[in-house]
Each structure stands twice: as structure tokens, then as C-alpha cells.
Amino acid sequence: MPGRGDGRAIYHTSAKNEDEAAWIESGYQEVQYCDAPFEWRPVLVFDAYANYRFNRLAMQFSVTNIANRYYLDPLARVTLPPPGLTLRLGVTVGF
């Protein structure tokens, strides 16, 4: 098969760390300064992938986070969002 396309949708439901409030109340103050806040909203992210092969030439193309959603990975302890809309193109030539 010379070419193929795929897609995926990833859904994460909301989450909240109920234990953090109890840790803070019990005197473990470091929790609120290290990684707060920790409540994640639901998110639905779409990605698409395609590849094509012809003889010795192979091409790959992907589009991730098609809707360009700003979100935090659920249950991540770092408040750094994943990249927004991302396009990737790859070409491989065999010798």
C-alpha cells in the first residue's frame, strides 16, 4: 500500500487532587508552593497522520492538536502546556 492516513482523538476527563487541601491543612505547606494549582479541566484533542511510500521515498506528515487547544496534560505535576497546533513533515530516502 503506497499511502495511509490515520487520526485519533484523545479525551481526558476533569480531575482534582482532593488530598492537597488536607496536606496543606495538616501543615505540609510545601505542597501549595511546589506545584499548585491542581485541578484539570476536561480536554478533547484531535491529531491526524499520513504517510506515503513510493519505491525508496517515504514521506510522513502529521498535524497534532488540530484545534490548537491550550490545556494542561491531566495529572501532570508541571504546569507547562503541550504545544499548540503542530505540523510535521518528514522525508526518508533509502539508498
- How much is the pLDDT for 77? 67
Residues in the chain, overall count: 95
More confident residue, 61 or 1: 61
pTM of the predicted model, to two decimals?
A: 0.70
Q: What would the mean pLDDT of 70-82 be, rounded to a whole number?
A: 77
Asked whether residue 51 carries a pLDDT value surpassing 90, the answer given is yes
Q: What would the mean pLDDT of 24-49 be, rounded to a whole number?
A: 75
DSSP H or E stretch at residue 12: strand 3-12
* Residue among 50, 44, 33, 90 nearest 66 (CA): 44
Long-range contacts of 78-86 (CB under 8 A, 24+ apart): 78/35, 79/35, 79/37, 86/62
- How much is the pLDDT for 32? 58
- How much is the pLDDT for 57? 94
Q: What would the mean pLDDT of 67-81 be, rounded to a whole number?
A: 80
